[in-house]
Amino acid sequence: MKDGFPLFREIVQKYCIALQAKKYTIKVPTIEAAIALKFAASISPNRSDENKPVDNADLLKLVRVKLDLDYQLLSLLGDLIYKGGGKELVSIVDDILNGLPVNL
């Protein structure tokens, strides 16, 4: 993950858990950060068509992993993707958890 995009920079600096693996430090995003990253990938015009279904499926799986998500954090991270992205991300998460169809 490159940290040039505000979302990436914020996640790397604040919303990752550092794990040590031999001589390497691996940063693993929190569940909310992983959801925001998949949301960003799902709506990105730079992602190829063959990756979109995988991104969408990953997003669904991540949301369903943990029911007590931090909606305030999701909103904050979504707004780093684009203005108003936090509101959309929270709405999408609610729809997924309520079994409603989601269009990305």
Q: Is the four-CA dihedral 78, 80, 84, 85 of positive or negative sign? A: negative
Cα distance between residue 103 and residue 79, in whole Å: 19
Q: What contacts 45, CB < 8 A, 6 or more positions away?
A: none
Q: Higher pLDDT residue, 91 or 12?
A: 91
Domain boundaries, the chain: 6-97
Give the span between the Cα atoms of 89 and 104, in whole angstroms. 10
Q: Quick one: average pLDDT of 29-47?
A: 93
The whole-number pLDDT of residue 46 equals 85
Q: How does pLDDT run across 62-83, given as a tens digit for each residue? A: 999 987 999 999 999 999 999 9
pLDDT band at 12 (very low <50, low <70, confident <90, very high): confident
- The confidence score (pLDDT) of residue 3 equals 55
Q: CA-to-CA distance for 74 and 78, rounded, in angstroms?
A: 6
Q: For residue 47, what pLDDT band results from cuts at 50, 70 and 90? A: confident
